[in-house]
Chains A and B, each alone.
Chain A
């Protein structure tokens, strides 16, 4: 086994009296897809928020590609190569699809005052190039959508917003993609298609690791090599989907004690 791209040890986060993350140990192999499952409130999204620096961890540490990222601000985590989507879609609805994608591409764009105000030709070229790159990426997910990039994101249906959100995370070419319940608000078939597209991009990019929070167990079964099950902020099981779905503690967490 190669060195893990993401390694967390004893990661803890407390909100008042609630221990949302309780000493979580977790490792992700490069190029794999890890499923993160567990009942509502088990700490899955909190784990993403702590990892990406939105909430500071109370204890423990996380390392990305060998480098510690525990105390980094969200901006620095992103620059290190970690991008995410949100459970509740967080697109900028008044902005166009293209503009939303460019928010994700922020670090590659030139933000100097002089460049943006005075070198308009160079700026237009950079924008035109970015436009083509964004269109190419979006085309993988939905060709018709790629031709509507100048429409406001608030005008497109939920499934397309999910696609745009995934593309916004992918366009910066991250090495780790955190997907927070992409199936929320979508039908089973739509979710399957979205995941297939994501896996297609993963194969094309080569070097992309994915951590997927998902309630749709058939999706987890189909796309993940390993799963980690959380309950009350603790890891209660780890293994392939077949293994964890047979696990007594997991069944108890999901179905309750008989």
Chain B
């Protein structure tokens, strides 16, 4: 009971902090808030309280999930008119979805993918092209973004399966670089100027109209928050179930020791393909959703640097842990947007953050816990 109360309190504190941070305008206030968060973070790490929280959250994960869900909803309702904050919030949610996909690849199967932003882009361009050229329902286009991203990934399967480690990584880097050039020279995809997307519509809901439901009035971004939150909740559950199943175990075995896994009948190629395809699908859906929200896409959004950011979110949060990468995604997205001095140096900052994490906490801020298989004793 006491641990539950503590969890609720912690969620409330986190929500309040996020609200303050999103509301803060002056750079001085923002810097003070971030300094406070860094200090609190250090204190949590040094006193091992963070690990204690993680263990507690794991014991009652359903509660933790509901609290996280509620925290985002409350945060959005506290800022109903604040377009920019809601846009940031939605971006965080969408980036978490993309990182969940990357997590299946890198975290579980050990398939390196330095082209995350490219598959995100494939999803976005699919949504853009199909929404302009056809009258297909937009919800279907989100799925189509995932499917095309998964299909585009199959181009890389053969070279990835034939190489290991650094070489497989190089192949995905090559793909990321080629993809951007391909977009820039391809006039039917808008070239360097990119493409505009029509308004997102799902059933009777028009996503670009402001919210006016009874007493609640607010920015149209509120709808995107809800949609992104639902998509995130769905994929979060899927990825967690995937990990806590025979599939998750097979992926882990393949990542840790291919030779031993093969000796016990695991088909290495099959599992790597499965993880790569599933991961790219998730990334593609996130990309399509992101494209609709921004309403406009261009090659610049899908550069190799963006792919690196996705990977660094994983390393920062804790490879293989959906909770950890969610925390890291919030940090990596919000920090440079709020603290504008960082904006220019953001890659420097991410790079040093990743180096520090790898040096002092190699398993990430929130290391991946042992698997909890359903049906095993607690």
Interface residues of A (CB under 8 A from B): 52, 54, 73-75, 78-79, 83-84, 86, 90-96, 98-99, 102-104, 106-107, 109-111, 113, 116-117, 120, 123-128, 131, 150, 152, 168, 172
Contacts and interface: CB of A to CB of B under 8 A. Distances in A.
Interface stretch (B36-44, B114-122, B203-211, B252-260): B252-260
Chain B interface residue count: which class? 20 to 34
Interface string B225-263: 000000000000010011001110110110011011111
8 contacts: A75-B262, A78-B265, A92-B253, A92-B256, A95-B253, A113-B247, A128-B376, A131-B377
Interface stretch (B18-26, B76-84, B367-375): B367-375
A152 B252 CA distance: 13
A74 B263 contact: yes
A172 to B, nearest CB: 7
A86 B260 contact: yes
Contacts, number: 103
Contacts of B245: 116-117, 123
B247 A103 contact: no
B242 A117 contact: yes
Nearest to A116: B245
B246 A75 contact: no
A152 B371 CA distance: 10
B253 A79 contact: no
B360 interface: no
Given A74-B262, A98-B376, A102-B246, A117 B252 contact: no
A contact patch SS: helix
B266 interface: yes
Given A125-B375, A131-B376, A96 B265 contact: no
A127 B375 contact: yes
Given A75-B266, A78-B264, A91-B260, 6 more contacts: A78-B265, A99-B371, A104-B264, A106-B250, A113-B247, A150-B376
Interface in B265-317: 265-267
Interface in B95-120: none
A188 B245 CA distance: 39
Contact of A110 (B246, B261, B377): B246
A103 B375 contact: no
Given A103-B253, A120-B241, A84 B374 contact: no
